[in-house]
Every structure is written in C-alpha cells, then in structure tokens.
A and B are shown apart, each in its own frame.
Chain A
Amino acid sequence: MAAIKAMLAKPWIWSFVAAAGVWMVTILFTAGASTLGLTQAALTFAAFSIIVGLGQMFVITLGPGNVDLSIPSTMTLAGTVALKLMDTNNGLIAVGILVTLAVGVTVGIGNYTLIKLLRIPPIIATLSSSFIIQSTAIWYNRGIRIKPPRVLAEFTTASTLGIPNVAWLALAISIVAWVLLERGIYGRWVSAIGQNMRAARLAGVPVDGVRVATYVLCAVLAALAGFLLSCFSGGAALNMGAEYLLTSIAVVVIGGTAVAGGFANVPGIWGASLFLFLVVSMLNTYGASAGVRLFLTGVIIIAVIIAASRRLGEGSSTS
C-alpha cells in the first residue's frame, strides 16, 4: 500500500497510466489483433517526440518565459542539409551526422545570442529565429526531396529485439538526460535557475553558461530528431517539423514537469509521448472524424493534466 502511494506521488505516473489505458482500449476494440503493430508504431513515433521533448524539458525548466519555438524549423533545416550533403551516399553518413550536430549548435548559440545581447524574451527570440531557419532550409534546396542513404533508411525503420531502432536511440538519449538532470551538476544548476535566477546567480551558479548550454542542447536534440525523421520518412519535407512545436511542449507538461520551471522529470516524457500517439490512433481506430479527433484529443490532454496536477498538489501539502 505504501509502495502504491509512493508511486502515485510521482509526477510522471499519470502519463503512464493514461498511455496504458488508451493502449488497452484500442487493443480491446480490435480484439487483440493489432497489439504488436500498435505497440511498435507507438514506440517509433513516440521516439521522435521524446527526443525533442527532452530538449524542450530542459529549456522550460529554466524558468518562466523560457521555451524554444524554433524546434520545428531546426528539425527541417537539419534534415534538409544533412540529406542533401549525403546525397544518398552511404559513405557520407558520418558527415551527415556531424552537419546535423553543427546545425544544432549554431541554432542554439544563435538563439541565446538573441536572448542575451538583444534582451529579447526567449519566446520571441526563438519564434523569430525559427523564420530565419525555415527560410534558410527553403533557400538551401528549393523544396526538392532527396532520399536518405539506404543504410540509414533501413536502420531507422528496422527493429532490434522487437523494439524499433529509433526507440533504442531515444532510450539511450533519455538515460543520458536522466543522469544529467538527477545526478549531474548541470541538472542542479538548471533547476536552481528555474526557481530563482537571481538567487542562483548569487549562489555562484554560472547562469549564462548554463542557459546557453541548455538552448544548444535543445537545438542539437531537435536537429537529431529532424535528421532521424527525414531518414525514417524517406526524405526531408519542409513542413515535417510542424506538429512537433506543440507536441514538444505538450509532452513536457503532461509528463509532470513544472511549467513554471525549476522541476523536471525524464520518465514523464516517455509516458506523455506514448500517450499522445496512442490517443490519436485510438480515435482513428474508432473511426472518429478529424474534427472529433482533435476535440477529444484536447479534452483528454486537459483531463490528464488535471489528474496529475491534483496529485502533485496533495503530495506537496502533506510533506
């Protein structure tokens, strides 16, 4: 009983409960026929949300006003540039990965430069930089779709031990993120800044260094997700990042990370990413029309957030 209570006090538990519930309902509807396919699809598509969600999580944890709206355009730019450079050539994969990382680092530093030097609020800075980044992607290859190298296309669509490769990658990145957050000095610093930036600075936290590192980390993860997604879907499309703008924020919030900053958690990103994908497939399975689907998605997300925040409130008042 005590163990169950302790579990219920975890802020991320609700996203998993919700994901499991939706999974069950969908499976029941198809009488179990879709179990394997649905699970694999959920893991595959959730992997992309997880990778961008982790970056957004660190940014949001920096405190009120911190959010990265340039994630979709960074994904597009990284996918476009990397695929054009590799030009379907298996021998240039390493170059593609390096270019992806370089795009991320450049975007991250660019974003923080706007925030710091011009003193623009992060939400405006990243919004305006996203237009610049998106335009660069359009200008770079004029919307021509180039196929990924064969090895990469196969890797991103294949599974190992029954789990999609992209999900393994997301798991590896998540473990690193968890260590950074829970065991590393970086996570402490991010959380301190999110709670009270002035107090953190006066306690010796290198505020500028931590913030720029966080925006760079977020952009690098977005670039990586864009690279993987364009390999997975057979080429970079200019609008391929669009849905990840709201998704990246939603998975952070549903996963139990504090929107006001100062507190984050990694497992919740998984629960929330799986949940978001499963809700849409459940409604598809039931044959709901697009309008009903969006409406219900909204209602369900609100319900989960309310459940999670109520638990959180009770937990803190008894401690």
Chain B
Amino acid sequence: MSIDPAVKPVIAVDGASKTFGAVRALSEVSFSVARGECVGLVGHNGAGKSTLVNILNGSLTPDAGTIHLEGLAADRYSVVAARASGLRCVFQELSLCPNLTVTENTRIMHSGIKGLGWRRNAAALIRAKLDEIFPGHGIDGGQTVAELSIAERQMVEIATAFSQSDHAVRLVILDEPTSSLDSSLAAQLLAYIRRFVAEGGSVVLISHILSEILTTADRIVVMKDGQVVASGPAAEFSVDTLVGAMGSVVRARDARRVFEAGAEGGPVLQQRALGNAEAMDFVAYRGEILGLAGLGGHGQTRTLVSLFMNAGGDWRGRRQTKIAFVAGDRHVDGNLPLWSTLKNLTLTLLPDLTRLGLIDRRKEASVAGNWRERMEIRTNDLGNPILSLSGGNQQKVLFARALATTAPVVLMDDPMRGVDIGTKQEVYHMLRVEADKGRTFVWYSTEMDEVCQCDRVYVFREGRIVAELTGEDVTEERVLAASFAGGAA
C-alpha cells in the first residue's frame, strides 16, 4: 500500500481473512487509516465492507491476518480494546435502545459519565455535539428514541460516536451514515467530517452515494467479493471509474416522461389535503413516477402509510392486489425476522400463489428464485433467515416483495437505504420500464439523485404538500428552495 511509512497509521489490518461457513466474506485484505485522514470505503452489498468494519472494531476475530493499533500489534484485540484506543462505530443497523431517552442512550455509550448528575452531564454532552454537527436539529434529550424518526435516530447515533468523555475519539467508522438523512443533514455531516479530520481525527466513511465519498474522502478503497480491488487518492477517481472498479457500468439515465394531468385518464390515487388552505391535494396518475421530496420526516412516510391503509384490505386478502408498499425502515415496517428470505419475499404475492387456501409451494419457490436473480439478492439459499442477509440485500427482498405483484400502484418509503449502486441502477431502470407499462410509483426518497429521476415531485414541509414540480422543473435547486421556503432554514 502506498502510505508514507513515516506516518504511523491509527489502525492497520494486514492480510485479514474471514469465512462464515462456506461463504468467504473477506480474503487477505490489507487496510489502514492514517491520522487526519478520511478513507472512503465502497463496494456492492455483500462485498465484505461490514465484515471489515467488524474486524476493525473488534467484534469479529479474523481467521488469518494481524491488526495493529497505533503501530502496536494488538494480540488480544477486542471491542473493549478498540474503544479504549478511541475507535467508534456508527452502524448501518441502528443500535440505540428504543425504550430509553436520548440522554440515557448517551450514558450507555459513555461509561465514564458517573455519579450524581450523570443525567445532566450526559444531556449536556449529547446536546453540545448535536448542536455542533447538526445545527438546528430540534432533538430533545428527554425524548425516548422510539419517538424519534429514523433520521433523528441516526443523528443521535452519529453525535454519540463523535462525543468525547473518558477516551479521546481518534477514529470513527461511519457505515452508511447518510442513508436516512436528507440532503441538507447529509451536507452538515460531511462538513463536520472534514472539520474533524482537519483537527487530526480519522474517519472511515462507507456510503453507496459516490458523490459523498468523492467530495469527502482523502483516499478511496474499493472492495469486491471480499477483496480490495482498487485504492488511491480520491482525486484520481470519478463516479464512472468507481462504479467500474466495483464491477458495474454507469447506465444512461432513462428519459423522463413529461406528464399532462389527466392525459391518460383519471387519477389512480388521490387524497385531499386536510384542513389547511395552503396545502395541495395529492393526486397520482397512471404510469407516472411521482416523487415525494422535502426534508426528512416532514410527513412523507405518514402520507404513504395513510394512502396504503385507506386502500383497504383489513379484512380480506386479495388476489392481484391494487397497491403494494416497499418499506424503508425495514425493522419496523418490513422484515418478518423469524422467517426465511423466501417467505419474506412472497408475502404480498401470496394470495396469487394460493388455491383453495393452500399455497402452491413449487410456484412460490420459482417466483422467489426468479426475483433473486433479477434483484441479485446475495444468499446461497433462499431458505436462509432474512436476518442473515446484509442490510442492502434485505432491502432488495422487500423491493422484490412489492414488485413481484401485479399491483398497479407501488408506494416506496425511501427504499434504497443501503442498496449498492449497481442494483440501484437496475431498479431505476426496472421502475421506468414498469411505469411505461402503466404502473404508478409513488417514491419518497432522501436522495436528491433519486428525486430528480421522477416525472413529477411533491415537496413536503411540516406534514403538507407545499409545492409541485413537473418535468424539467425537477431540479435539486427547485426542490431545496421549496423545502425551505417560508420556514426557518
């Protein structure tokens, strides 16, 4: 590796390998992070990024290879040793206790806060860090985590990792930190990372949003099939070369369709705005990709859920369902954790696979096998539990659950969290093809790039639709302007 030998790395693994049963998750990976450096780590779902992170933070022991901490060999490396040497992790699977308050969660991660007044000290610690990273966050330390939106939970988790009590924070590993954050929050975080690094801290940033990696990281490491396949200064990469290194090609964006209201018959879905005169009604037409934009947590998810619930289906299962839902917050809205991947995938389609109340299991297996190929779901057996899949692959299963049906309307609640760019592009294309066939997609996304793919966009603010953008007007600037207009930015 091309690291200046004079600069001692904060942490270095050399020749690390790890296998789980028959799956080789990591093979002879060497990876290091220097002081004052932000390393970007990219790769497909299941490329081995999370395994590498778990080796770095001490929760997995590699089958072969060594770990050096601050240049010293760490023989008995562990989570405790990693934490004591100033390493922090923010996981893709959020790890806060939902029944405790923000302050109490802070105290759990910082065992140094002790004695009378711990609550006050913990509250001050987390508030200061939240204010520093996400000015204007609006999170109260007394709220329980369950009351927070998924974006707010992620903000708390990030702030907890960066805040300092007994041990100095030297290295923070961020696994998909922006996947639930909207663009303005993501920008705040990325700016903070640069400040942290400038002050001598180190960061490992994992993201599927390549523009973030390119602008924020000093050096980029690309992983594929458990190996490092490319590594170099960020300036030497572009989106195209990164995607190429991961083993995909950049697809030309499919042409957007310009819609005229009612051109293809009446609306397929509508909901009147409640009470307020400023708000606009929600209307979706046949064959369009309708985006829901705006800052995260401004009522987009609530709107999607109420559209779904109002479509009925509480009492009777239906063949050829009229509406399907793709969950984004997969632990709360999507996964059935005791089940196999197969059963999770076919749940919505089940009435169509059933005769006289009995499931046609051969047909079920063939539908699921077909969708595993189409979505490139990485698991060697669809009978494996859903939770054994990586986060991005779980998300693909939820996508397949909805797309496998013939539902003319598909509601999507920021479904691409943690999905790699290759699959994303496949799905974007699939959406466009399906929309051309007459399906309607209602798509809430926190990623501006996805919003800009939509034919038409409703911008949400404080629970209401405040603007509608169509065709060429769907641009980042317009969406941002509408998200903030009138309100305090």
Contacts and interface: CB of A to CB of B under 8 A. Distances in A.
A126 to B, nearest CB: 21
B359 A184 contact: yes
A200 B351 contact: no
Contacts of A179: 358
B357 A209 contact: no
Contact of B336 (A196, A208, A258): A196
B335 A191 contact: no
Contacts of A202: 305, 308, 325, 327, 333-334
> For this complex, into which size category does the number of interface residues on chain B fall?
35 or more
Contacts of B401: 203
B337 A196 contact: yes
Contact of A204 (B324, B335, B338): B324
A262 interface: yes
Interface string B403-416: 00100000000000
Contact of B348 (A180, A204, A208, A209): A204
Contacts of A147: none
> For this complex, into which size category does the number of interface residues on chain A fall?
20 to 34
A212 B350 CA distance: 20
A196 B331 CA distance: 9
A206 B314 contact: yes
A192 B336 contact: yes
Interface in B334-387: 334-339, 343, 347-348, 350-351, 354, 357-359, 361, 384-385
Contacts of B348: 203-204
B316 A184 contact: no
A206 B385 contact: no
A189 B350 CA distance: 9
A200 B388 CA distance: 20
Interface in B426-458: none
Nearest to A263: B338
Contacts of A205: 317, 347
Interface string B292-330: 000000000000010011000111111001001101000
Given A189-B317, A203-B347, A195 B339 contact: yes
A112 B444 CA distance: 35
A23 to B, nearest CB: 32
A108 B103 CA distance: 45
B332 interface: yes
B359 A204 contact: no
A207 B317 CA distance: 9
A160 interface: no
Contacts of B351: 185, 204
B36 to A, nearest CB: 41
A188 interface: yes
A289 interface: no
A185 B337 CA distance: 18
A209 B315 contact: yes
A211 to B, nearest CB: 10
A199 interface: yes
A202 to B, nearest CB: 5
Interface in A151-192: 179-180, 183-186, 188-189, 191-192
A198 B348 CA distance: 13
A195 B351 CA distance: 19
Nearest to B323: A204
Contacts of B357: 180, 184-186
Nearest to B402: A203
Contacts of B388: 319
B338 A195 contact: yes
B350 A188 contact: yes
B316 to A, nearest CB: 5
Contact of A188 (B305, B309, B327, B347): B347
Given A202-B308, A204-B317, A208-B315, A185 B350 contact: yes
Contact of A199 (B309, B315, B333, B350): B333
A206 B361 CA distance: 21
Nearest to A258: B338
30 contacts: A183-B361, A184-B354, A186-B357, A188-B343, A188-B359, A189-B350, A191-B339, A195-B337, A195-B339, A196-B336, A196-B337, A198-B333, A199-B334, A199-B335, A202-B305, A202-B308, A202-B325, A203-B348, A204-B313, A204-B317, A204-B321, A204-B347, A204-B348, A205-B317, A206-B314, A208-B315, A212-B315, A262-B336, A319-B384, A319-B388
Given A185-B317, A198-B333, A201-B309, 8 more contacts: A188-B359, A199-B335, A200-B347, A201-B314, A203-B347, A206-B316, A208-B314, A319-B385
Interface of A: 179-180, 183-186, 188-189, 191-192, 195-196, 198-209, 212, 258, 262-263, 319
- 7 closest Cβ contacts across the A-B interface? A209-B315, A208-B314, A195-B336, A203-B347, A204-B348, A202-B325, A185-B354
